[in-house]
A and B are shown apart, each in its own frame.
Chain A
Amino acid sequence: MSDLSEQFIERIKSANAPLCIRGSGSKDFHGNTPRGDVLETAGHTGIVAYEPTELFITARCGTPLAEIEAALNEKGQCLPFEPPRFAADSTVGGMVAAGLSGPRRASAGSVRDYVLGVKLIDGQARELAFGGQVMKNVAGYDVSRLIAGSLGTLGLITAVSLKVLPQPVAETTLRFEMNQGEALDQLNRWAGQPLPIVASCWENGVLTLRLAGARAAVEAAQLKLGAGETAPDGFWNDLRDQRLPFFAVETLWRLSVPSLAPRLDLPGEQLIEWGGALRWLSSDAAPETIRAAAAAVGGSATLYRAPPGLKAQVGTFAPLSAPLMTLHRNLKVAFDPQGIFNPGRMYPDF
């Protein structure tokens, strides 16, 4: 446990060049290439409050995600959005700033859905608190959820409060042989039924499903779906932490699309999660082609992992419409008028 907020405030006050906010650095690859003097947050640690029956946990930004999950596990609780852990020391502040969610996202919700409150130091070195530790709170604009996924461009998150939930009582994994089109169709059909499907992954002709919930519900669903074979131990963790062999490529695209979008006819390999709504693509097709294919079905393509040259050239994130970009710039100015924090990490414009 240690509190570095005073040091952060001093550092930001005296900053005369852009700062690159960094937790453990496990997500340095995410977004555009980091720029600026590194401001390490990993020393600002500690679970400040955890109350299992109030369903929340509050921790300083540098607290390792692993420490938080261990504390929750002890009380039979969890972070249902299953954020990826790219390293043993990945921090909770980085998790919120990156806004990435894991396998259960389609059923359980995303990081932002579980953010209850944040403490933030803004570009004017003011320490601000938004939201809180209670589950329902509409006092003021919902800045804490805005911060989730903002890639540290709006301020330094010093602490976060997250909603937590009980771990599912029962869980089982089923596997089916299916081509991509069949899998997409089937996943969408199942999703409209009251079945306890909490995660899915299709790769290379195999659909893996995770069922979780009340024991009776899981057993009934298993019967109904016809017992497929089970998957190897640790499969879901490997998927969550992106350790499956599929992810070990130099250039990886992340296509977020409506789950109903048909099979995307793009060269390369695909791995599909979130009931069809997340399509990972390893491909050397032209970036414009990939972005256009995602946009054509109502989604967007993120250049998730790529050599710095390619990221600099095409940008990590799909371009925004002009009025949306204006709102982004205005918001950036509202929180960070001097443009100190993580310049260009999200869009080169701010």
Chain B
Amino acid sequence: MELSAYPLELPPDDRPMVRFMNVTKSYGSLVVLDDLNLDIQRGEMVSVIGPSGSGKTTVLRMLMTLESINGGVIYIDGKPLTHMERKGVLVPADEAHLRRMRASIGMCFQHFNLFPHMTALQNCMEGPVQVLGLSKAEARDRSEELLKMVGMIDKKDQHPSRLSGGQQQRVAIARALAMRPRIMLFDEVTSALDPEVIGEVTEVIRRLVAEHDLTMLMVTHQMGFARDISDRICFFYKGKIEEQAAPEQFFTNPQRERTQQFLRAVKDAD
């Protein structure tokens, strides 16, 4: 589809928080996302599952504008994410547009990616001060409140190297929230953690779901957790959504052969 065929904005009565419209992504000849269509509603928690290499991370990274887009358009709250209007048609966006759009999205990574030369508190304050232009005092209040929420307030002056994986991940969540995003992305945030600390991180995400009206997209291998907290499960297979459904339906009565295979394989591994 030509870029000119896409709407400059989505109509007010059809504005999901996130819409992937015919999105394609490839590395050379390897097609990673193949004509992807996906809507995520305001306040919805969607879990993305699927075999390794199926394109789950890529979906999140494209939303975070960490990867370029090869085809299609992504809309955030009705506005194109990596495109902008010029002379009545969409063209690839410039940096200013990307920065404006990125402001509503936050992301947590598998390997936390905390800044090693800053304390937990400084990590959280960095964005609010440097990017949002908050005063140090405001940023500190906001960050301390979030560190309290993730249970890390008593470690706020520690550098990441002195924190366990679970603690680092909780700081990373606080750091992302400090930017007050409307959409949060979690890419296997518990995969690099020791089993005994996974709970402390999932607990934080559980609270986010319960107490905030964030729109969330989470890639995870923890089926039980996904089932507990998601509004919807998206099963990716080879760059396409093979099946999506509400958790109960998805786990108790999967429709597709591949989904059933995958769920069996995961169960066997447990």
Is B truly associated with A? no
Binding site for B on A (CB under 8 A): none
Binding site for A on B (CB under 8 A): none
